[in-house]
Amino acid sequence: MSSEPTRRIRREDGWAWLFIGPLMLGVVVFYFWPILRTLYNSFTEFGAFGGTRWTGLENYADLLTDAHVPRALLNTLIYTVIVLLGIPLSVYLAALLNRPGLRLAWFYRVMFFLPIVAMPAAIAMVWRMIYNSDFGLLNYALSLVGVDGPYWISSPGWALAAVSVVGLWSSLGFSIIILSGGLRAIPPELYEAASLDGAGPMRQFFSLTVPLLTPSIFFLTIITAINGFQLFDLLYALLGPNNPAMAQTQSLVYLFYEQAFAQNDKGYASAIAMLILLVIGVITLVQFRFQRRWVSYD
Amino acid sequence: MVTTTRRTLLTGAAALGAGTLAACSGGGGGGGDIPDEIPADTSGEITYSIWDQAQKGAMEKIIAAFGKQFPDITVSLTVTPFEQYFEKLQTQATGGDLPDVFWMNGPNFQLYASEGKLQDLADVPGVDADSYPDAMNALYTLDGAQYCVPKDFDTIGLWWNADHFEKAGVEAPTEDWTWDDYRETSRAITEALADDGVWGNAGGTENQAYVYPLVLQAGGEIISEDATRSGYGSDAAIEAFEFLRGMVEEKIAPSIEFTSENKPADLFNAGKAAMLWSGNWSAAVFKDSPVRDAIRTAPLPTGKQAGNVIHGIGNTMAAEGRNKAAAAAFLAFLGGEEANRIQAEEGAANPAFEGTAQAYVDALPEFELQRFIDAAADASPYPVSRNTAAWLSLELEYYPKIVGGELEVAAGCAELAQKMDEALADEQ
């Protein structure tokens, strides 16, 4: 008799596994297994058509001496930091878009949301035209005020900034959606109470809106940082592999792609992939550590 | 003239092949299941993979013609865009599921051949290498065995715009133009037509169309015959790059940033450049150019000597296919006179089979494409090694640095040569 409750729990356990099972299977097969496989591959020399040879830490030793790696790591960091600057901008824009009584609010929301539904390749095509040094919109606009614009996407000094601006721009839509959700969750009574206490719009924004949005902002910081470290498609489509600025602009994932698919060195590419995983892991961990200093959940 | 004939390349390869490399090249030669003569009632379904949508029509016509000889063999054609073609092929090869018959190119050939993925043509009845240019056979031969039937070929020539030459008042290019003639004509046109925004030459750092011929003309090589050493460290390579760097420096060729955003062929096609080095493949594009009527061709200028590069697609079949008799029959047909004639008539490509190119030449008489075919006789094979891709990406990295002036020419060439030597050493 006394074992009855335990048995019931066991039985419920079975049901739980049944429901979680299919999802877990997917996660294990498509996420955990490839990660383990990549970890294994990073210790091998990977033949062009499969077949691995154990080489121990050789790939990691190469990683430490490869001059492209620190450059790519720095580029990726710079890109991520610039794209992260989009978050304060998104907070400001989301607050504007969610002002009560704003006319044409739906129109603005659609405008800001569009970049998310557009493919990165299509976005890159349009920006390539904007950035074109001789026939592009940007340098034409600059020429009207007497400035001779540079080669935005072909000179090493400018290309990374040019890519980052597009990255920032295309991340705005997603951030604004998330923040709008956060804003809607703030009870209007709080604002009424604040204005009764004599707080002006600025004071309300900084003392009420921003603190109450910190959970959404935190979520966005995590996601944006992870996406930033995975920079590839935008860079590839905007600059192209034949670009003279590519060597100085390439990101970690681009380096991975180069090694895995252009140079057929999948073992070394796996080591780069592990480095990317490690960097993203550390940065995310640090962010979680620091969140209690600034994120308020009440 | 450094002409690598089939024989010299083979001698080099044989010397090299005896040791380590032979160990990993097994498996390709078996072919026990291809009969000496393939009966006309052979049946089955085979797949044929290509990457050029523009040639799909011609390939379908060839398949239809093949169907008349072998009515019981069904060929299904797959077109994969070039950008993904070799990634997909590699995945298929890894999974043991290569198409029965497929297109191959120079830079990828040795990788597949050395891993035993391709069928040795010695066991495919009805293929005769004598029908194709020597350099094309050499390109697709590894350690003495040929694995691909040349499908088509291209060489490089000088494309020029007669209107620009006339307007600038300069003489048309001749058969015996030198580097100096080319540079001074570029200068004259760039200066005369500055107000129209027309460049004397379209510039750029194309390897096959520009750098390779220049290095060969300076008396150098891109890669040693045994494919173990880079040729970029030589004085000839430095001379070639100084020629290119000089024109950019003197602003008679566009900067590398400019040509990165505005491709040389596009500039020429749009009438924004008076001269371009490019292959006969450009004919398919320039026939629709807005300045088509002004477009002419001439032989490449010469440096110390003449120099040109020949490359082309090869048809090949999987060493471990499911229906090798049917695949071999189709491969032999693809390499035959009829299939090559169809390619020419359709204007798909310059056919590799000797004597079938007339229809291709006649289709665009004003471009005088015969000169690209004539150039094949003395052209060097496109330089390749076992993992060509590894040093192709080095070229992409270093050419702009050298021509753009970020690295001093001699130092840049030395660095490129050293990195390429390391990549070649990794192949061994």
**B390 Cβ under 8 Å from any chain A Cβ:** yes
Among residues A172, A180, A174, the alpha carbon closest in space to that of A82 is found at A172
Say how many C-beta atoms besides its own lie within 10 A of residue B210's C-beta.
Answer: 24
Q: Give the pLDDT confidence score for residue A5 in this predicted structure.
A: 57
**What total of structural domains would you count in chain A?**
1
Backbone angles phi, psi at A100, to 5 degrees: -60, 140
Q: Is residue A33 part of a domain?
A: no
Q: Is residue A60 part of a domain?
A: no
pLDDT interval class at B4 (50, 70, 90): very low
Q: How far is B368 from chain A (nearest CA, A)?
A: 31
Among residues B210, B168, B169, B173, the alpha carbon closest in space to that of B190 is found at B168
Task: Report the percentage of chain B scoring pLDDT > 90.
Answer: 78
Among residues A130, A137, A141, A218, the alpha carbon closest in space to that of A175 is found at A218
Question: Could you tell me if B187 and B276 are in contact, meaning their C-beta atoms sit under 8 angstroms apart?
Answer: no
User: B156-309+384-427 adopts what CATH topology?
Assistant: D-Maltodextrin-Binding Protein; domain 2 (3.40.190)
Angle at B265 between CA B260 and CA B268, to 5 degrees: 115
**Which residues in chain A have their CB less than 8 angstroms from residue B260's CB?**
151, 153-154, 240, 242-245
pLDDT interval class at B16 (50, 70, 90): very low
Q: Would you call B256 and A241 a contact, using CB atoms and an 8 Å cutoff? A: no
Among chain B residues, the shortest Cα distance to A68 is held by: B397
- Per-residue pLDDT reduced to its tens digit, B90-106: 989 988 899 999 999 99
Q: Can you tell me the distance from the alpha carbon of A190 to that of A180, in angstroms, rounded to the nearest whole number?
A: 17
**B87 Cβ under 8 Å from any chain A Cβ:** yes
Among residues B222, B232, B182, B217, the alpha carbon closest in space to that of B203 is found at B182
- Name the more confident of B382 and A241: B382
From residue A242, how far is each of A158, B3, B206, B257, B335 by CA, in Å?
Answer: 16, 29, 10, 11, 34
- Name the more confident of B207 and A298: B207
Rg (CA), chain B: 22
Q: Would you call A263 and B396 a contact, using CB atoms and an 8 Å cutoff? A: no
DSSP string, B228-291: -SBSTTSHHHHHHHHHHHHHHHTTSS--HHHHHHS-HHHHHHTTSBSEEEEEGGGHHHHTT-TT
Residue B15 has pLDDT above 50, yes or no: no
**Which residues in chain B have their CB less than 8 angstroms from residue A243's CB?**
260
Q: Is residue A212 part of a domain?
A: yes
Q: Is residue A87 part of a domain?
A: yes
Q: Can you tell me the distance from the alpha carbon of A51 to that of A47, in angstroms, rounded to the nearest whole number?
A: 5
Q: Which of A152-156, B77-81, B157-161 has the lowest mean pLDDT?
A: A152-156
pLDDT interval class at B148 (50, 70, 90): very high
- Number of A to B CB contacts under 8 A, please give it: 67
Q: Is residue A84 part of a domain?
A: yes
How is chain B split into domains, by residue range?
Answer: 33-153+310-373, 156-309+384-427
pTM, to two decimals = 0.82
Residues of A with CB under 8 A from a CB of B: 47-50, 128, 132-135, 151, 153-155, 240-247, 258, 261-265
Q: What is the CATH number of the domain that holds A263?
A: 1.10.3720.10
Segment B299-321 shows an average pLDDT of 95
Q: Give the pLDDT confidence score for residue B7 in this predicted structure.
A: 37
What are the 10-residue block averages of pLDDT along chain A, 298 residues in total?
A: 58 84 91 93 87 89 93 96 95 88 84 83 90 89 91 91 94 91 89 88 88 93 94 91 87 93 88 96 93 82
Q: Give the pLDDT confidence score for residue A298 in this predicted structure.
A: 65
Segment B196-211 shows an average pLDDT of 94
Q: Which of A105-119, B53-67, B185-199, B220-234 has the lowest mean pLDDT?
A: A105-119
Residue B193 has pLDDT above 60, yes or no: yes
User: What's chain B's average pLDDT?
Assistant: 89
Q: Is residue A208 part of a domain?
A: yes
- Name the more confident of A36 and B36: A36
Give me the CATH code for the B33-153+310-373 domain, please: 3.40.190.10
Q: Is residue A13 part of a domain?
A: no
**B90 Cβ under 8 Å from any chain A Cβ:** yes
Task: For residue A256, give its domain range.
Answer: 66-294
Q: Is residue A224 part of a domain?
A: yes
Residue ranges of E strands in B303-401? 309-310, 314-317, 380-381
